[in-house]
Structures are given as C-alpha cells and as structure tokens.
Amino acid sequence: MAELQISGDLIASENDKVRTAQKSDYDALGARLDRHGVDIETITNKVAAFFVAVPSWGVGTGGTRFALFPGHGEPRGIFDKLDDCAVIQQLTRATPNVSLHIPWDKADPKQLKAHADALGLGFDAMNSNTFSDAADQKHSYKYGSLSHVDQATRSQAIDHNIECIDIGVAIGSKALTVWVGDGSNFPGQSNFAKSFERYLGSMAEIYKALPDDWRIFSEHKMYEPAFYSTVVQDWGTNYLIAQTLGPKAFCLVDLGHHAANTNIEMIVSRLIQFKKLGGFHFNDSKYGDDDLDAGSIDPYRLFLVFNELVDAEDRGVPDFHPAHMIDQSHNVTDPIESLISSANEIRRAYAQALLVDRKALGAFQDDNDALMASDSLKRAYRTDVEPILAEARLRAGGAIDPIATYRKSQYRLKIGKERPASLAGGGGII
Ligand SMILES: [Mn+2]
C-alpha cells in the first residue's frame, strides 16, 4: 500500500518557522495590490486552482546523447515514480496529476490506479512512444512509425497508440499525446507529401479509437531526432493535423520545440483563436529542445505565454481548458527539486499574468501607446508574487518553502537506501 512520504508534522513545523514572515509579506502585497484595485484573495484562489501535471519520466535523472549520470535513489519503475510525484504534490499542492509514458510505465492498470489513489494522485494525458523500439516489438521505428513506408510498421504504431488509450481509460486519463520522431536526415530521403499523407492516415485510425470524452494532442517539433525534416515540424502542420482529424484533435505546444527566438506566445494566441490549443509541455531552452527547468532561462517568455492564456480566460473563450504538463529532463539537479521549482515557476507566470491590468492595456493598444502597453505587462511581471504562491500552498496543506522542507525531510537519502543504484528509468527527452 502506498503511503505519503513526507510527514505532515514536518511540513507543519517547517511552516511554523516562516509563518509570521509569510503573513507579513502576504498582507503587505495585499495592501499594495489593493491600491491598484486588485483583490489579492481573488488572485490567490485562482492560483490555488491552477494545476500542472508532472511527467512520470521527469522524476528519474535525464540524460543526453553523451551520457546519463544517475543520482541517488533513482526510481526503479512506475510505482517508485508515482511515490516521487506524490512528494512533489504534497509540498507544492500544484501537481495532483501525473502524465504517463507507455511502454516505460506499463503496469497492471488496476494496480496503477490503486497506487495513485492511495497517494492522492490522478492521471493526465497518456503519452505513446513510437520513437524508440521496445524490446519485444516486431517492426523497427528506425525509419519512422506512423508515417513509415511499410503498412505493417504503421499498423503496429497505430495499435500501440490504441493500447495507450485503453490503459488511459482504465486509469481515468482523458487524453492522448502523440509525438513522433518521424522525419529524414537527407534531402530526398523521404517524400514530404507522401509521408505526411501516411501520418494523417495513421492518426485518423487512432482518432477513431478515441472515447467520446477524450482528446488527442499532436505535438510538433522542428528537428531531432531527424535533422533535415520532421513530419510534424511546426505549428502550421500541427494545425492542419488537428483540423483534418476533427473536433477531438488539438495541438500541443512544447516550449522547446521551436527555432530559437520564435514568438511562441503568438503561436499560442493563434491556436486559441482557432480553437485548436490542446495544451503545453512546459520547459525552458537556450538553444534547442534543451528541456531545462521552466522559467530558468527566459521567465519573461513564460509570462508572455500565460499572458495569452489569461487574456483568453478573460475574454471567456468557450471550451477553453488547455492541458498543462511539464516535459523536462533533469541532468544536474535532484529531479524532485527541479519539478517543485518548475511547478512554482509556472504558477508564478500565471499569477503575474493575472495581475495585468487588461482594461488599461486595451486602452493603450487602441491609442497606439506602445510604451505604456509594454509597461503594463512589465508592471505585472515585476511584481513579486511569491507570497501569493506560498499562501496558496500553505492553505492547501503544502509547504511555504517546499524545497527547504524537502531537503529537511531527507527523502532522497532515505529512498537512496531503499532503491539500489541502477540505470533504470528509461529515456526522457521528447
Ligand atoms: Mn514534449
């Protein structure tokens, strides 16, 4: 039977150390926001209701194509991974759901559900894997999967995605994310039109297997592992896919899957406007698909993405409920600490975006007042919303300072003794 790993008493005693300071900071911020006509309680309640899913593959140490340097207490399988995910949720109260990757996380669905239930966790979108070969599979994905020239290979990839849906149904998931590594390394290696046609045909088969209340997310990525062309390379192609498949198909935006300097927030706006934004894989990048911690390189860009989401929320865009998920690879940090920090950064961007004075911004835009329009975003972004984030955690039973409390718990040391060192944990960069 799974049990919560961090003692409630420890969280309470750590909170007690900083409770007075937290109250004072929260009250001061409340007074400051009040002067601008903003009710801090409204913001805190919205932040407390904002959740982001943790990727099962993120709690193991990630690797590069050069090497993987595992840490202490690496999860040995999905049940250990769920235990680690529960620690993140216990301390942040921002991550109640886990996104699974099949076949890495394959297990008896009943046991998965029971283990997650006992930990107070649920499941977000399922992720299929047709970018690497499983030990027992008949046809290789070396030259592609859903767009492969060979029908038998495509069928195998389709069947795998349908199996992911079946597992997802059994554990309470409501969406499937499909990312394929299909593409080419040489001009002329594959026919662009034919491979995309085959991909669409395969996706249509998967789409047919979706339950009525499910969504399917296609994830674009401009390069890697294919370095000349990928079949689903950008948001335009992704939009075509979602549009072609039907109303249950949406586009997933992984922040790292674009060319450097791409205006991602504008892509988000376009997809919202045409009702095809399915959700996100949050992370950060400097050069490419670096899978760095959310908000660690360009927190302003993360804020600008959330500015579009809050704008849509504000305008009351119908049926607007994008899936928020993290997709990161942690190579030099304790993955649990990175995911705690990332969940907080994502909530921070949301809280800052909620502080934008949208009425004033709209008036500046209408007056062509570029400087003040920009300043109204900056004003919100400059606000230190940490007291709001801490208050949301505290009220939900989490930690005012989750990283400090995690370190105090010595969880890593403890599980390091229980889990023998191994290279297990699978890959982790998509
Ligand atoms: Mn991704």
Q: What is the mean pLDDT of residues 221-242?
A: 98
* Predicted pLDDT at 422: 62
Sequence-separated (6 or more) residues with CB below 8 Å from residue 325: 52, 53, 55, 99, 124, 125, 177, 279, 280, 281, 282
From the CA of 10, how far away is ligand 1's center (Å)? 35
* Predicted pLDDT at 405: 98
Number of Cβ within 10 Å of residue 401's Cβ equals: 18
Model pLDDT for residues 202-221, shown as the tens digit of each residue: 999 999 999 999 999 999 99
From the CA of 430, how far away is ligand 1's center (Å)? 5
Using the predicted structure, report yes or no on whether residue 428 has a pLDDT greater than 60.
Answer: no
Closest CA to 159 of 125, 192, 134, 186: 134
> How confident is the prediction for the chain on average, in pLDDT?
96
> Computed from CA positions of residues 102, 104, 105, 106, in that sequence, does the dihedral angle turn out positive or negative?
positive
Model pLDDT for residues 75-97, shown as the tens digit of each residue: 999 999 999 999 999 999 999 99
From the CA of 353, how far away is ligand 1's center (Å)? 23
* Predicted pLDDT at 423: 52
Q: Are 388 and 27 in contact (CB under 8 A)?
A: no
From the CA of 355, how far away is ligand 1's center (Å)? 28
Using the predicted structure, report yes or no on whether residue 5 has a pLDDT greater than 90.
Answer: no
Cα 3 to Cα 118: distance, rounded to the nearest angstrom: 7
Cα 59 to Cα 70: distance, rounded to the nearest angstrom: 11
Strand-pair category, 175-178 with 215-219: parallel
pLDDT band at residue 425 using 50, 70 and 90 as cut-offs: very low
From the CA of 215, how far away is ligand 1's center (Å)? 16
From the CA of 146, how far away is ligand 1's center (Å)? 17
The DSSP result for 76-122, as a single string, is -SHHHHHHHHHHHHHHHSS--EEE-BTTTT---HHHHHHHHHHHT-E
From the CA of 239, how far away is ligand 1's center (Å)? 17
From the CA of 363, how far away is ligand 1's center (Å)? 37
The strand ranges marked E within 191-248 are 215-219, 229-230
Q: What is the mean pLDDT of residues 109-117?
A: 98
* Predicted pLDDT at 84: 98
Using the predicted structure, report yes or no on whether residue 256 has a pLDDT greater than 90.
Answer: yes
Model pLDDT for residues 125-175, shown as the tens digit of each residue: 999 999 999 998 999 999 999 999 999 999 999 999 999 999 999 999 999
Using the predicted structure, report yes or no on whether residue 424 has a pLDDT greater than 50.
Answer: no
pLDDT band at residue 65 using 50, 70 and 90 as cut-offs: confident
From the CA of 283, how far away is ligand 1's center (Å)? 9
pTM given for the model: 0.96
From the CA of 21, how far away is ligand 1's center (Å)? 38
Using the predicted structure, report yes or no on whether residue 268 has a pLDDT greater than 90.
Answer: yes
Using the predicted structure, report yes or no on whether residue 230 has a pLDDT greater than 80.
Answer: yes
Closest CA to 394 of 384, 402, 383, 403: 402
Using the predicted structure, report yes or no on whether residue 1 has a pLDDT greater than 60.
Answer: no
Model pLDDT for residues 284-318, shown as the tens digit of each residue: 999 999 999 999 999 999 999 999 999 999 999 99
Closest CA to 153 of 213, 119, 188, 201: 201
Cα 356 to Cα 80: distance, rounded to the nearest angstrom: 40
From the CA of 252, how far away is ligand 1's center (Å)? 8
- Percent share of the chain, pLDDT over 70: 97
From the CA of 137, how far away is ligand 1's center (Å)? 23
From the CA of 90, how far away is ligand 1's center (Å)? 25
From the CA of 375, how far away is ligand 1's center (Å)? 32
From the CA of 219, how far away is ligand 1's center (Å)? 7
Tokens 């090497």 belong to residue: 67
Closest CA to 336 of 394, 289, 254, 403: 403
Model pLDDT for residues 50-64, shown as the tens digit of each residue: 999 999 999 999 998
Please give the backbone phi and psi of residue 138, each rounded to the nearest 5 degrees, phi first: -80, -45
CA 49 to chain centre: 16
